[in-house]
Structure 1
Amino acid sequence: MLLGVSGLGLLSGGAIAADDFVPGDKIFSGDAELGGTLTTGNSKSASIKGRLDMKHELGQWENKYLLEALYSENDDGDSEDSTVTQTYQAGIQGNYRFDPRRYLFANGNYFRDPSTGYNYTVTTALGYGHRLHHSDNAFIDVEIGPGYQYQRLIGAEAATSGVNSEDSLVLHSVLAMEYQIAEGSVLKQKFTADYGDKILARSESAITARIIGALRMKFAVTVRYDDQPLAGKKSTDTETTMTLLYGF
């Protein structure tokens, strides 16, 4: 079981705020997550995950910052070799709000997972965002706009395919929702897709429940999809975690 600390920047008291990007009178808030797993016996595995998610509100501007890292090592005991996986993600997005429902956005994202055959993927986009629905306990946001995607292949894959990189103009789209099931319990879903020469998509589903004060428990499933993976690679990667959360 993965244990960590994180927080929910969009919650204020028992309700989801209509236009407070950062709760209350603060202009800055953040989430921190840190956890790990350790398994021994016939198979050995260890992993550690860290995540920092921050929000900054200044007038009509809303800025989001994300840093995430995952390290895992697996040994099935049948050989001296072990499998090591390291993934990193960093992102930044700025929103300029015309009113509580309408905004323009610009973002940049970096993702690194050599197990996919790509050393890293960089995506940038800008466009229009709109809050489709808002109530005391739920909201739904959509974003759409043009973007650019660049992927750098690792050495072995570059030698096999004969190219060092792939790039494409993309249509960037996001669907995000939150629903407060009960006081202190929230369901979150975010779906991101970039449509270009191929489709890269990511789905993040999470449910959180308050334990005491700012301490919460979170169950999350993240699915990444590439409709044209490199030869010998799978199109779908899934990550399932159970964490402890703490917000600041």
Structure 2
Amino acid sequence: MQNRLLPLLYLIISSQAYSEDSITSRSVESSSTANSSLTVPKDDTQTTSTPSESDQQANSDTDSTEQGLTFEPTPPPPEEPPSTTEQHDTPTSSSNNEDIVTTPSENKDNAASDDGIDEELIAELLNEDDSSADDEKKDSDTKDSGKTAVKSKTAQTKSTESSVGSATWLPEIEFGYRSEQGNEDERSLNARLALSHISGRLRNSGSIKIYMKNEDGKEDERDQTYQLQSDYKISPRFYIYGNFKGIDSKYSSYFHDYTVSSGLGYQLTNTETLKIETELGPGYRYQEPNTDEIDDDDPIFPDNVAEPIIRASLTANWKPLDNTSFKFDGTMVSGSSNTRFNTEISIINYITEDIALKISQNIEHLSRVPNNLEKTDTILTINILYAPK
């Protein structure tokens, strides 16, 4: 019985050892085949579908020209975009795109494998799956980059359209009051309402100033000053303007003092920090003095005036700090009867985002005055300014 079992046991052990050796040899052959396969790296160059440098330069020039034709402050130049061309070298690994080149001996070994499985066919199928997946990934990356470029270009176009075609309203309300009681009963009020509207190349502005003075319970002075102006840009620096200024008074020297002018304006600079504009043009002036109210200390002549004039102006707005700004407004109106200079220097300090303290000094200078009077008058005002943004 033992003689019969021993050969059978030996046969079972030898068959088991043979199967383990065949499995081990197959794993070794597959690993050696993977290691000895020749991989050819591919130099994939991806270029995102963004506009060329010439197109970008043309777009930037167009945007700057369109932006320059508006009265909005000129934004700072944009930063240079990073390069959109990147080169990626595909690493030599079996997970990426690679062409596996096998030698004839390896083909014979693979073909002569005892398990009947064509490993070369499996490797080619796996390689095709990997390459198709990588191609899909590249296509998706290219599409995403193209979409990103289109979105950025669309955003730039929208921002340009919004900056060129949008309308901006800038209202201002200014108020100052003085009351004196005791030996003298005197009250004075000065107020100003201004509104500016900017839409593309067109800018409209208007303001009204009111000054009232009561003494001993009776109205002693009352002046209203109106000013309207329209500007239209014809180039990034030049614009055409039309201006009207009128003064109506019941108790002071003039019943009416009207000035109309039109001409050419020039912007020396137009940024968020500094803005300087100058204007020059012909016009017409009409003055009707109040002969019943003219006193010896009034620096006017009792004659009606209707004459052509030359008007020149200079305005500057400097904002060195976020909460502090300085303004200068100077105007010259010259005619045969007289030449008048009006200047206003203001310091504005914002207490909150919309409320500010405004200190102004107004100076008026006349070239001709009667009775050897002073040619220059100065007025200092301290007001509260409300300018919602």
Q: Same fold (TM over 0.5)?
A: yes
| Alignment-derived partner of residue 183 in structure 2 | 42
Match of 1:218, SS?
strand
- TM-score of the superposition, structure 1-length normalised? 0.79
Question: Does 2:230 correspond to 1:94?
Answer: yes
| Alignment-derived partner of residue 244 in structure 2 | 108
* C-alpha separation in 1, matches of 2:311 and 2:177: 32
- Give the alignment of 1:47-196 within 5 angstroms: 47-74=188-215, 84-113=220-249, 117-156=253-292, 165-196=304-335
What whole-Å deviation, never above 9, does each CA across 1:163-198 have from its counterpart, x for those lacking one? 761122111000110111311100000100101111
> Greater relative contact order (Cα 8 A, min sep 6): structure 1 or 2?
1
What whole-Å deviation, never above 9, does each CA across 1:7-27 have from its counterpart, x for those lacking one? xxxxxxxxx9338xx9x9543
Aligned partner of 1:211 among 351, 354, 372: 351
| Alignment-derived partner of residue 86 in structure 2 | none
Letter in 2 for 1:192: T
* C-alpha separation in 1, matches of 2:373 and 2:212: 20
Match of 1:18, SS?
coil
8 Å Cα contact 1:39-1:46 kept in structure 2: yes
| Alignment-derived partner of residue 74 in structure 2 | 18
* C-alpha separation in 1, matches of 2:370 and 2:290: 11
8 Å Cα contact 2:327-2:345 kept in structure 1: yes
* C-alpha separation in 2, matches of 1:73 and 1:18: 46
Q: Tell me the CA shift for residue 213 of structure 1.
A: 1.6
8 Å Cα contact 2:166-2:200 kept in structure 1: no
Match of 2:319, SS?
strand
Match of 1:156, SS?
coil
CA distance 1:133–1:89, change in 2 (3 Å): same
8 Å Cα contact 2:167-2:200 kept in structure 1: no
Q: Tell me the CA shift for residue 68 of structure 1.
A: 1.0
* C-alpha separation in 1, matches of 2:301 and 2:167: 52
Q: Tell me the CA shift for residue 114 of structure 1.
A: 5.8
Q: Tell me the CA shift for residue 35 of structure 1.
A: 2.7
Letter in 2 for 1:94: S
What whole-Å deviation, never above 9, does each CA across 1:129-165 have from its counterpart, x for those lacking one? 001234441121100000100100113379xx99761
Rg (Cα) greater in structure: 2
CA distance 1:229–1:119, change in 2 (3 Å): farther
- TM-score of the superposition, structure 2-length normalised? 0.52
* C-alpha separation in 1, matches of 2:270 and 2:316: 10
Structure 2 gaps, min length 5: 1-71, 76-162, 295-299
* C-alpha separation in 1, matches of 2:301 and 2:225: 27
Match of 1:27, SS?
strand
* C-alpha separation in 1, matches of 2:386 and 2:239: 29
Letter in 1 for 2:176: G
CA distance 1:162–1:169, change in 2 (3 Å): closer
Give the root-mean-square deviation of aligned CA atoms. 2.9
Q: Tell me the CA shift for residue 237 of structure 1.
A: 3.0
Q: Tell me the CA shift for residue 120 of structure 1.
A: 1.6
8 Å Cα contact 2:73-2:270 kept in structure 1: no
8 Å Cα contact 1:116-1:233 kept in structure 2: no
Letter in 2 for 1:184: N
Aligned partner of 1:225 among 365, 370, 373: 365
8 Å Cα contact 1:122-1:149 kept in structure 2: yes
| Alignment-derived partner of residue 239 in structure 1 | 379
8 Å Cα contact 2:252-2:293 kept in structure 1: no
* C-alpha separation in 2, matches of 1:215 and 1:98: 35
8 Å Cα contact 1:88-1:111 kept in structure 2: yes
Q: Which has the higher strand share?
A: 1
Moved over 6 A (4+): none
Structure 1 gaps, min length 5: 1-15, 76-80
